[in-house]
Amino acid sequence: MGNRCGMTGVNRDIKITTLVENTVYGKGLQGEHGLSLLVDVAGHKVLFDTGASDLFIRNARQLGIDLREVDCLVLSHGHRDHTGGLHHFLRLNDRATVVCKREALRPKYKDERENGLMHPDDLDLARFRFVGQTEEILPGVFVFPQLPVADEADTHFEHFYTLTDGQKRPDRFDDELALVLKRDLDLAVLSACSHRGITNILRTVREAFPEGVLKLVLGGFHIRTAGTGKYNVIARYLSDNLPQRLGVCHCTGVDQYALFHQSFADRSFYCHTGWVETF
């Protein structure tokens, strides 16, 4: 495994706090089209994405969370609704390591609209650790940068482009990674948008940890406007591989969440701004 982020004391509880999501129900909090999750695990704090602006910082303050204590920031991919708060975070926190794939810094587009990381040339790359293989970045915290596509039906590439070698090409999201939390045999899988497919991500994690028990899957599945066809691909896989808790949010869509709840009842929940999940 590669070098780890800063290490402190150990607490076996794992807590995931949603700092930003599209929807909000908590008093004083706000939502935006974006996602940011804070993971407290083994005495460390890991931030997973930064939403689209500095809103995740303002919500954290409202929740009594000091983001200057974050040890690692993990970027799931280079889209602006997940990296828009990056510069704000780096000004606030002067010690955290940023973990991502190098491809996350490439220009990105949604059709003709620029949709990638803002002002990449202004970043201090000395604070970045680019990953290419599965690594344990903190005790029990793994990044999965290699996400093979076993089922092309569960991919979400339409209308997205990236700039490589000076040419605009269809984006297959080579920059995407997933975050996995492991405690003994228990596993939690966090995926921000699942452009490469949540079923493909789960297959990859299960291959890496064949004895693992899937306790939690949480994130966006990018099927908000995809109709029931894409949902059915995911639902068929989950019917045989259902985690104890299935948290959906962001680009999954509230309407599609209703289908998950209809299929999997109380095993599923909607992860809105301010939601806290502990295991």
Percent of the residues in the chain that have a pLDDT greater than 70, as a whole number = 96
Query: Would 3 be classed as within a structural domain?
Result: no
Average the pLDDT over 203-231 and give the result: 95
Question: What pLDDT does residue 3 have?
Answer: 53
Range of the structural domain that residue 30 is part of: 14-278
Query: Would 144 be classed as within a structural domain?
Result: yes
Query: Would 5 be classed as within a structural domain?
Result: no
Confidence band, pLDDT 50/70/90 cuts, at residue 2: very low
Total domain count for the chain?
1
* Residues 240-262 pLDDT 10s: 999 999 999 999 999 999 999 99
Look at the block and give the residue holding tokens 């604070």. Answer: 127
Q: Which residues of 79-111 are buried (b: 16+ CB within 10 A; e: fewer)?
A: bbbbbbbbbbbbebbeebbbbbbebbbbebbee
Query: Would 208 be classed as within a structural domain?
Result: yes
* Residues 12-40 pLDDT 10s: 789 999 999 999 997 899 999 999 999 99
Res 6 pLDDT > 80: no
CATH number for position 100: 3.60.15.10
Query: Would 132 be classed as within a structural domain?
Result: yes
CB 170 within 8 A of CB 106: no
* Residues 41-75 pLDDT 10s: 989 999 999 999 999 999 999 999 999 999 999 99
Average the pLDDT over 192-198 and give the result: 98
Query: Would 8 be classed as within a structural domain?
Result: no
Query: Rounded to an integer, what distance in angstroms lies between the CA atom of residue 44 and that of residue 61?
Result: 18
Average the pLDDT over 168-174 and give the result: 97
Nearest by Cα to 136 from 223, 68, 216, 208 = 208
pTM exceeds 0.85 for this model: yes
Average pLDDT value over all residues in the chain: 95
